[in-house]
Amino acid sequence: MLINVESNKDFDQVVQAVQEKSKEKGFGVMSVHEVHKILESKGMPINYKCTIVEICQPKAASTVLSKRAEISTAMPCRISVYEQNGKVVLSTIAPTELLNMYNAEEFKELAKEIEDTIKTIMEEAAK
């Protein structure tokens, strides 16, 4: 399941706000990928802006990875910011859905907490 939030704000403002709100909520910003610029530099442009912000909550990551290394394949969490139909859209894959792929019921509550926080980050960044 995707979590989507729309914004009427400027694209660059939203990308910056995602990073700021992530830090405010205890997440580290691992990387920022300006996908539209990367593709353009490779001679394969797309006709809209798209940036992926990778974030991680260190305590949660340590808890999960100390018991289940294979879950690292779904980390860090990603918030995609892209333009669509005159709006800026923030989108992520729900951590609870990702967790289902690993049959890791022991982390269900933690995944829900992370998901709720990411949704708040997205909603606050969109305002």
pLDDT given at position 19: 98
* Alpha-carbon Rg for the chain in angstroms: 15
pLDDT given at position 9: 97
pLDDT given at position 126: 98
Q: What is the pTM of this model?
A: 0.95
Q: Which residues of the chain are modeled with pLDDT < 50?
A: none
Per-residue b or e along 13-46, where b marks 16 or more CB atoms closer than 10 Å to that residue's CB: ebbbbbbebbeeeebebeeeeebbeeeeeeeeee
Q: Top-level CATH class of 2-126?
A: alpha beta
Closest CA to 54 of 123, 124, 121: 121
pLDDT given at position 43: 98
Residue positions counted in the chain:
127
